[in-house]
A = this chain, B = another copy of it.
């Protein structure tokens, strides 16, 4: 009975499975579409926990949204989850200890313990998806900040209010480096409001010049952000993860960053811990902290 139930709560689906302390998945991975109300989410979680409660030592949840420094509560808003989500008392859902951590932080921890950034005591993970997530590990510890909300990749890439970000500010790194950012860059380059990320990828495989320029511009924006972060953190490595990372050339970014950094050279890796890095990282981290 040294297994935990790992749960990943995202805006689209909730996934869960038994995970051991080494981060290995030990059961079928079950998936449920994320319900639209707080009450229904609680029911999904209770059912999942009930199913495995007798076999486990603890429950570890990777969730969208910032998590407090006590790993008990979601703080702040999570746009893809129903209002009221942050009021859930996760501990009340189980007689076993319940541990929660932000999904990007948890995934960064999985990369640090069993994935691409193993042995990188100072590493930054960037999750390039629809948005951009961030998980920062410094001196072998997750950067949480005063309330747990640290690691948001909303630093400004322009002073001129060129592109509105989903957060309400302008020109955040996320607004350029994300999948949405790639789409916006494509709209500007193709001068076509209807173009999609899929179109860009498709056209690039056919050597379309504008599509290649779009991807290069997008990758250059990511590289500029990584350069700034390496100057701030002097990191051992960066890990690129998420649905968009396969369209990025990590070596090109590494060469660019290392040619410009004022700190010391770093490494850029593609993520290795897989699609369930969130639930795996939550279990491994909880096992270390509980």
Contact = CB atoms under 8 A, between A and B. Distances in A.
Interface in A144-158: 144-158
A171 to B, nearest CB: 8
23 contacts: A122-B145, A138-B143, A139-B144, A143-B233, A145-B234, A145-B264, A148-B234, A149-B234, A149-B262, A149-B264, A152-B232, A152-B234, A152-B262, A153-B231, A155-B228, A155-B231, A155-B232, A156-B225, A158-B158, A158-B159, A159-B220, A168-B260, A232-B232
Interface string A171-199: 01100100000000000000000000000
A96 interface: no
A27 interface: no
Interface in A191-243: 220-221, 224-225, 227-229, 231-236
Contacts of A262: 76, 149, 152, 154, 167, 169
A159 B156 contact: no
A157 B162 CA distance: 12
A163 to B, nearest CB: 10
A97 interface: no
Contact of A234 (B141, B150, B157): B150
Contacts of A151: 232, 234
The 6 closest A-B pairs by CB, nearest first: A145-B234, A155-B228, A149-B263, A150-B234, A154-B231, A152-B231
A159 B145 contact: no
A145 B263 contact: yes
Contacts of A38: none
B154 A157 contact: no
Nearest to A149: B263
A228 B263 contact: no
B155 A263 contact: no
A36 to B, nearest CB: 23
